[in-house]
Chain A
């Protein structure tokens, strides 16, 4: 995966990205990874998972996990509004949703206008960033969706909870991890 770093499919018009906002920062995700965008629906919490995994939703009969992107990026939490959306992503065979403040538009960014990830200057951890896209004066943070919910991380989560020594008898809040 590492060598995939900035390997976008290059076409004449550049790569298409779906852009969305968290606070006042604009992010982009390759359109090919986006299955659909839906409004916020009722989420069932799943115990024993980190806070950023909000739970599961019913997407036309399929149970789909959703993660809150603000929580994932350790940003300040915001109230869900009627503009809050869930972007359903399909990465390899995994389907999951990300909760974002608002979805903006679909834009094309040519390879020339994509710069490597700067080591600073963004409020989120660089491991989630694939590159920075420039459209005129706007700067769009292009996300590495594979990293948002990676297999290794999930595996660790499950294993950590199988290990009985990690549980301690404390008050209820602690069990939420």
Chain B
């Protein structure tokens, strides 16, 4: 029995890591947007918030490396915000590197490893920024940076009154009001702190998760109202914060001579300080957390399972009711069709929960293209469209690799150097375009560059050299392009660290095929190259061909099926007593007797009395001998629990009658049949 009184930090850490991932990817986005709009305060605030969230949480969980690093980063951002530094390309690069560093730090924290070495390099770069004076000793003192970095606000000691009334929910958001008060202490000497209990009540009415306290403090401080106010930066949009200068410092407060400046915010009311407004707006534009919830994927899976059961039950009721007659039969039929509509609607909604916008992975490509272009000294703009196109989470995850390869290729091989482009009359800046859209029940993603296009002759030459094709044969364009996907095929003259080894395109094709998708190429020399990826919406559902072998049913994924036929006796040949082959459009392909592979007694041993399903597996064709075709159906792929991983079985599904049928894994079947 788990002890219910100890807090399970592993769960908290898990969600911290998940949040970090989100923050890291949005941080990259913010930095790159800032590059284009360096004066955008909203972006800067959003970036600041992300860094701060990571810092706050890492501090709570004891990840000191992350804490101190993000603290340094905050210092830089703070200087930016105060206009003490300007946003340069160099700074952008350092910030991006810092994001990488945070990524590494989070990764090592996840694995429980010590911080990676590169952290020091990045820190050095951060420290070498002009005007950066922070030393290590200040790292752990929050708020200390304000003292160091605000030479522009020379102030003397004054008396401030700070009224802080946090909203009741503040603790639930992980903010500790005491922490804020402790921070104030760093800014000056609190001469009095009076807590107030806002709602006197019966003991049993008190909710331990709510905060009922508020504070009235008097602070002797050299700092300006703004500095003190900044302590409440992250709570002020929901809490009531009021800061009043009671005794002005001698050299009139922060130069603006506002003697009694009151800053008051409460809730989302209209009395907000002007500097808060944009930050809040940007929060809604950039952060999606306000309208989404984080749900464990298992919960969604369970829902999907239950909906599947619901559909089966509904089908059974439908079948049972079909023979009924009489007055009430009609009514029953009516409600059953209503039930059917509802269950279908529920299924659709539930499946859509798993869908995520593909734009989630596009963001990281901005970074990839930016860095790579800089490295290759090319000018490249990345245009992204259709990022709202939705795809199953699992598909999106597996799409990242192929797209990375395609983009690297586009940047490295596709787009020419600025001189080359000038010479051929193109604008210096090349364009790489990613587009995503739905088409005929599939998702299509195109990656296109306006570069030099694919050199037909070069491919032909290489192919002949490698003995892939015969010399002098005329080959259509698409077949030539197909050669690019062959393993080890590369036309690059030199191998760079990103491409040229001829592995990438092979990976693209394999990944796509593994997902039941396809990839095609269009190109015109000197003009463009376009890769088109076609994908199923989800990996959880496939179109399956239900076949019978003996008394058992199996599913063959329809994407692998070319045709099915009942062969003539003369179309079968035996090779060396062992292997059987079957004539398929003039070619002999191996015949695999499924009943033999699975150890089942078939209804029919003679292929010409049974059926042969011709499938394409890893580019090769095979004939699978089955007893009967039972139909075609969309099936939901289920894991077989601890039995998952048997060669030849890709998984299982539940058929309309509630029975389990196994899904055939073509590659595994072939592997098995070789030894049978």
Contacts and interface: CB of A to CB of B under 8 A. Distances in A.
Main secondary structure of the interface of B (DSSP, over half): mixed
A58 B659 contact: yes
A62 B647 contact: no
Interface size class of B (residues with CB under 8 A): 35 or more
B646 interface: yes
Interface string A138-177: 0000000000010100100010011011111100111110
Interface string B529-567: 000000000000000000000001000000000000000
A63 B308 CA distance: 12
B642 A154 contact: yes
Contacts of A154: 642-643
Contact of B552 (A44, A58, A94, A165): A44
Nearest to A158: B645
Contacts of A166: 675
Contact of B675 (A64, A149, A165): A165
Contacts of B641: 62-65, 94-96
B648 A47 contact: yes
B380 interface: no
Interface residues of A, number: 39
B606 to A, nearest CB: 16
Contacts of A161: 646-647, 672
Nearest to A176: B599
B599 A173 contact: yes
Interface string B626-638: 0000000000001
Nearest to A165: B675
A95 B672 CA distance: 28
Interface in B619-676: 638-643, 645-649, 652, 654, 658-662, 671-672, 674-676
Interface in A67-98: 94-96
B673 to A, nearest CB: 9
Given A9-B1, A46-B646, A61-B308, A175 B676 contact: yes
Given A60-B305, A61-B308, A62-B638, A164 B645 contact: no
A142 to B, nearest CB: 19
B653 to A, nearest CB: 8
A48 B648 contact: yes
B660 A56 contact: yes
Interface in B576-617: 578, 595-601
B1 A47 contact: no
A50 B648 CA distance: 16
B309 A47 contact: no
Contacts of B598: 47-48, 175
B642 A149 contact: yes
Contacts of A53: 643
Given A48-B646, A94-B642, A96-B642, A61 B652 contact: no
Question: Counting chain A CB atoms within 10 Å of each CB, which of B597, B600, B643 scores highest?
Answer: B643
B309 A60 contact: yes
Contact of B660 (A9, A63, A174, A176): A63
Interface string B298-317: 00000011111100000000
B598 to A, nearest CB: 4
Given A56-B660, A162-B647, A65 B640 contact: yes
Contacts of A164: 671-672, 674-675
Contact of B305 (A42, A47, A61, A169): A61
Contact of B659 (A42, A96, A168, A174): A42
Interface of A: 9, 42, 44-49, 53, 55-58, 60-65, 94-96, 149, 151, 154, 158, 161-162, 164-169, 172-176
6 contacts: A9-B1, A44-B662, A56-B643, A65-B640, A173-B599, A174-B599
